[in-house]
Amino acid sequence: MHNKLEYEALINEVTILSDIDDVFILEIVNNLSIKEKIILKIQGSVEVGKILIYGWKKRLPFYLFKCSEHGYQINYLSGHYMALHCPKCLHQMVQPSELSSEPLVTDIKIEA
Ligand SMILES: [Zn+2]
């Protein structure tokens, strides 16, 4: 019988965001309880625990969710709307090579 205690120790070991890597995420996914799996399926995300990142004042809840492109991800609520963002998608957004391949929309002609 799996329960939250099985990965609580894992959660407590996280001190920097890069600790949350693919291996860590897989470990959490493999140890989800039935209840957590149901919440994940219905809500799209489930809290896996409160993590204290180095430099932060207090522990924040982290959530497991599924990115349509990158699979399971773990992150905290952020941004103006307190939403869950896939760290890998955010990383891709700031890749300059991706942006420069897009055609620039500056050549707009207004015909009189
Ligand atoms: Zn993603």
pLDDT in tens, 11-22: 999 999 999 999
Rounded to the nearest angstrom, the distance between the alpha carbon of 111 and the centre of ligand 1 is: 41
Query: Would the CA dihedral through 52, 55, 57, 63 be positive or negative?
Result: negative
Rounded to the nearest angstrom, the distance between the alpha carbon of 105 and the centre of ligand 1 is: 26
Question: Most distant CA pair in the chain: distance in Å?
Answer: 72
Rounded to the nearest angstrom, the distance between the alpha carbon of 89 and the centre of ligand 1 is: 4
Mean pLDDT along residues 67-74 = 96
Rounded to the nearest angstrom, the distance between the alpha carbon of 69 and the centre of ligand 1 is: 5
Mean pLDDT along residues 33-46 = 96
Rounded to the nearest angstrom, the distance between the alpha carbon of 110 and the centre of ligand 1 is: 38
Confidence check: pLDDT of 105 > 70: no
pLDDT of residue 97: 56
Exposed, middle or buried, 53 (CB in 10 Å: 0-12/13-18/19+)? middle
Confidence of residue 24 (pLDDT cuts 50, 70, 90): very high
Give the closest residue to 49 by CA, choosing from 24, 66, 80.
Answer: 24
Rounded to the nearest angstrom, the distance between the alpha carbon of 6 and the centre of ligand 1 is: 27
pLDDT of residue 11: 93
| pTM recorded for the entire structure | 0.78
Domain ranges of the chain: 5-100
Q: Which has more confidence, 37 or 111?
A: 37
